[in-house]
Structure 1
Amino acid sequence: MVLDDLLDVEHRGWQSLCESSGADFYGTLMLDDGVMILTHGYVFDRQQVIDSLNDAPAWSHYEITEPRLIELTDECAVLAYRGTAWRHGEDPEFRALMSSVYVRRDGKWRLASYQQTPVPE
């Protein structure tokens, strides 16, 4: 099932961010021309994502809730969800609505675009 497959990819991505291995994970997962649109108004290309994650502090834990799948084609889908993440010693938690656009290439899901929209308190 596509929803389960993409949720597994998202969980592996978040886990890599908790283990400080996000640069390697997203460097492999993202398409060469992929982008991440982040809550602070940044639009990062693949190399900028890798560079930023090399210096990013690890998350201590996270939650993915309310997942929704939009299948655009057999080879392209959008996964949208509410994400919450915590870092040790930081308050409040990071909360955002997130969407990831995936494209299947050579039998593997690859990240084309990721966007965060902050959830107001």
Structure 2
Amino acid sequence: MDQAWKLEQHFWEELSEGRAAGFYARHMTSDGYVVLPTGVVNRDELIVRWEQHEALTYELSEPRLLLVDGGSVLIHYHARADGAWLPDYRAWITSLYTWEGSNWALVFRQHTPEGPFAF
């Protein structure tokens, strides 16, 4: 499980260096996708879109990991990001990794932006 969390952190490191497209190319399953506030984006679209974006600064906190079964881990955490194209972004992120061969692979990620919600 810790390896999956390290991989998730590695994504953000690559994002901060302007290399997020490479992360998706190397570490996401071919049928993987991300749910963003604007809609669903598949792996191939992610690779193309991230090549067009500048790097962001970020901060991650409050990670929670849940081993779903021997081959899947759910990761949930808070992220803050900031950049010219995405100023002061704050969201709860949920990612699902699966064990594929000899490594974890990203299957799914969802962003839930912070905001008012009566619950």
Per the TM superposition, whether the score is higher than 0.5 is: yes
Counterpart check, 1:101 vs 2:99: no
The structure 1 segments of at least 4 consecutive aligned residues displaced by more than 4 Å after TM superposition are 88-91
Q: Report the identity percentage.
A: 28
Q: Spell out the pairing of 1:1-121 with structure 2 (5 A cutoff).
A: 2=1, 4-40=2-38, 42-59=39-56, 61-87=57-83, 91=87, 93-120=88-115
Kindly indicate whether the alpha-carbon contact (under 8 Å) linking 2:54 and 2:85 is maintained by their aligned counterparts in 1.
no
Quick one: which amino acid aligns to residue 78 of structure 2? R
Normalising by structure 1, what TM-score? Answer: 0.89
CA distance in 1, matches of 2:4, 2:78: 14
What is the aligned residue count?
A: 116
Change in Cα spacing, 1:86 to 1:74, as seen in structure 2 (3 Å) is: same
Structure with the bigger percentage of strand: 2
CA displacement at 1:7 relative to structure 2: 2.0
Gaps of 5+ in 2: none
Normalising by structure 2, what TM-score? Answer: 0.90
CA displacement at 1:6 relative to structure 2: 2.1
The secondary structure found in structure 2 opposite 1:55 is: coil
The CA RMSD over aligned residues, in Å, is 1.6
